[in-house]
Amino acid sequence: MSKKNNIDLRAAINAISDVVQNRPRPLRELDQIYMKTGDMVLQSELIAKWADGKRLAFIGDGDAISICVAYLKHREIFDFGPTEIAVFDFDERICGAIARFADKEKITNLRSVLYNCLDAFPEEGKFDCYYTNPPWGASNDGASVNVFVQRGMEAVGYQGEGTVVIADDHELEWPQRVLAATQSFSLESGFYVQKMSSKLHLYHLDDNPNLRSCNLVFKSLPGITPPGKSVAVVDPVRLANFYGQDQHPRIKYVREKKRVDYGKAHDDEYKYEYFEEPK
């Protein structure tokens, strides 16, 4: 039986635990919230199948789904997956973690690019599909989501597909408003909703541990003409409350403090209490 229908779940979970071990800690003030491990396994399989044989761009990737997809294919736990994966993220810690993992495991089709989504996109039209799990736009009706979505559209040259991961709660108002705004923006840009998988993922989110997210899969309409060359986002309306209420984008990059002990506990996280020496 093909591995497409018979995934070794134990091997997949163990492989993803390697990825989680390598992942930097989230910065909550920048809306970095990580998906739970079990859902990462399922998401990695979905995305690897969806992007099988294609060039895939990640517009941000705190969850490290990019590494999971590449690593599971590299380990032959999956016999499907993208031919190329590039991650564009403004957090140098994430970019560094991807580069080190790819180098250690000799994954040659995975790379990272230090990039802030407010800048013009550097590799327009070089990909077949895009993936983004952006700041969810609770305080700006999805304006921040649409910046990431726009960069994904530019990555595929407005000819391709995209998976957008955003909050999905049928009781709260703001996720419904964001879902509607994201779909409207995409339709105006020449992309329609090909599929929606509702309430799929849970997160390490202290203030709302039951909040789930969905996969929105978009596909471009035939014959779409790109609106023009990618440019920086400077419109104050699109920048307002970007990372939450009164959290405007002021940080261009998160810079990584270089260390020689990657993969080990930070020495500012612990101290030793010793046995009393015998007299």
Give a yes or no: residue 17 inside a domain. yes
21 inside domain: yes
d(CA 90, CA 68): 20
Domain total for the chain? 1
For residue 144, the tally of other CB atoms under 10 A from its CB is 27
Q: Which structural domain range is residue 62 located in?
A: 9-239
Nearest to 86 by CA among 108, 104, 117, 118: 108
Residue 138 CB neighbours (<10 A): 21
DSSP designation for 231:
-
Q: Is residue 255 part of a domain?
A: no
Provide the whole-model pTM. Answer: 0.91
Quote the CA–CA distance of 160 and 218 in Å, as a whole number: 8
> Identity (one letter) of the amino acid at 120?
A
239: number of Cβ within 10 Å: 17
Identify each DSSP E strand in 60-180 by its residue range: 84-89, 110-114, 129-132, 161-167
Confidence of residue 205 (pLDDT cuts 50, 70, 90): confident
Instruction: Name which residue leads in pLDDT, 235 or 3.
Output: 235
User: Is-contact 140 115, C-beta < 8 A?
Assistant: no
* 218-238 mean pLDDT: 94
Side chain identity at residue 133, one-letter code: N
Cα 277 from Cα 41, distance rounded (Å): 48
DSSP tag of 203: B
| SS3 call for 212 | coil
Cβ atoms of 220 and 160 closer than 8 Å: yes
CATH of the domain at 119: 3.40.50.150
pLDDT of 29: 82
Q: Please check whether residue 259 lies inside any domain of the structure.
A: no
User: Does the residue 244 lie in any domain?
Assistant: no
Closest CA to 43 of 22, 19, 27: 19
Mean pLDDT check: name the lowest of 9-23, 31-45, 121-135, 233-247: 233-247
What are the b/e assignments for 77-86, b being 16+ CB within 10 Å?
Answer: bbebbbebbb
**205 vs 117: which has the higher pLDDT:** 117
Residue appearing with tokens 């909703």: 193
For the chain, the first-to-last Cα distance in angstroms comes to 67
Contact by Cβ (8 Å): 231, 218 = no
Q: For 75, how many CA atoms within 13 A lie in the half-sphere containing its CB?
A: 20
Domain-located, residue 20: yes
Sheet holding 55-59, edge to edge: 110-114, 84-89, 55-59, 129-132, 161-167, 213-220, 191-201
So what's the pLDDT on residue 6?
Answer: 79
pLDDT interval class at 275 (50, 70, 90):
low
Arithmetic mean of pLDDT, 24-40: 90
Give the Å distances, CA to CA, from 18 to 97, 154, 214: 12, 32, 25
Which helix (H) or strand (E) is 186 found in, with range? helix 173-188
| Max Cα-Cα span within the chain | 84
73 in a structural domain: yes
**Structural domain contains residue 179:** yes
Mean pLDDT (the chain, rounded) = 91
Is residue 169's pLDDT more than 70? yes
